[in-house]
């Protein structure tokens, strides 16, 4: 599938091939993510969505194609270097340090912030975004609920300076009210802070509520590239899955 790559994109993926043990499971994937927007990547289990995110994050090698962040090609950069440039992958699993407190988890995210005053400001901002974390600031992370741990993992990324978030199925295993809180916070970060988000999701209705742009993946390839308006007007999604 041919996709036109926009020049203003903060994240650009061109003709990406990626997989496991030298065998591609993602083929010729091209997509863009604009600053201040949420871009959704939809598809069934096994379609290649998580593989795509991991390849963009540098956790899997790219067998072909390119990944660019703010105009800089990072295809061969290590995952740690991508993190330093503001690209963060949040997996389906709870990405927190279970034996540490909420405060220590957040401060660990700010390891690269040298200015204590700036670190304190960031912490205050994160706790304002996630009031439940402020309430549980001294609690051991492993005792938090699944939704609270997901919020904490997002807070860690923000403390570390995330500018582009790769969110892998944030709705998985969470109550609808928690999902709505999370996605409202993500929308706020995009609209107010210019965050760019690539959201992997299986629940079509959920993605259509928040995404500015929609891609659909099937058997490792993109089969649809739609704006929010065209996606919401689509009557039949099953033909794409």
Question: pLDDT-derived band of residue 7, with 50, 70 and 90 as boundaries?
Answer: very low
Structure tokens at 108: 């660990």
pLDDT in tens, 227-239: 989 988 887 777 7
pLDDT in tens, 85-103: 999 999 987 789 999 999 9
Show me where the domains of the chain are located: 1-86+163-241, 96-162
How far apart CA 149 and CA 169 sit, in angstroms, is 14
Q: Report the predicted TM-score, pTM, of the whole model to 2 decimal places.
A: 0.91
Give the CATH superfamily of 1-86+163-241.
P-loop containing nucleotide triphosphate hydrolases (3.40.50.300)
Give the residue carrying structure tokens 């916070």. 185
Phi then psi for 104, rounded to 5 degrees?
-65, -35
């Amino acid at each position: 599938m041919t996709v036109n790559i926009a020049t203003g994109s903060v994240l650009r993926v061109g003709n990406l091939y990626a997989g496991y043990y030298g065998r591609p499971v993602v083929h010729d994937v091209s997509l863009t993510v604009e600053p201040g927007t949420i871009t959704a990547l939809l598809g069934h289990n096994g379609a290649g969505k998580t593989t795509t995110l991991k390849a963009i994050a540098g956790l899997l090698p790219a067998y072909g194609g390119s990944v660019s962040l703010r105009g800089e090609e990072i295809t061969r950069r290590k995952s740690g270097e991508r993190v330093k440039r503001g690209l963060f992958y949040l997996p389906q699993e709870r990405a927190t340090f279970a034996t540490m407190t909420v405060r220590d988890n957040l401060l660990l995210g700010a390891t690269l912030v040298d200015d204590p005053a700036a670190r304190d400001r960031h912490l205050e901002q994160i706790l304002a975004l996630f009031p439940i974390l402020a309430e549980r600031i001294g609690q051991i992370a492993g005792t938090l609920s699944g939704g609270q741990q997901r919020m904490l993992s997002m807070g860690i990324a923000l403390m570390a300076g995330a500018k582009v978030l790769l969110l892998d199925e944030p709705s998985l295993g969470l109550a609808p009210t928690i999902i709505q809180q999370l996605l409202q916070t993500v929308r706020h970060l995009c609209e107010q802070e210019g965050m760019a988000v690539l959201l992997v999701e299986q629940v079509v209705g959920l993605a259509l509520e928040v995404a500015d742009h929609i891609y659909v993946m099937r058997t490792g390839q993109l089969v649809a590239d739609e704006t929010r308006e065209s996606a919401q007007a689509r009557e039949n999604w099953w033909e794409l899955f």
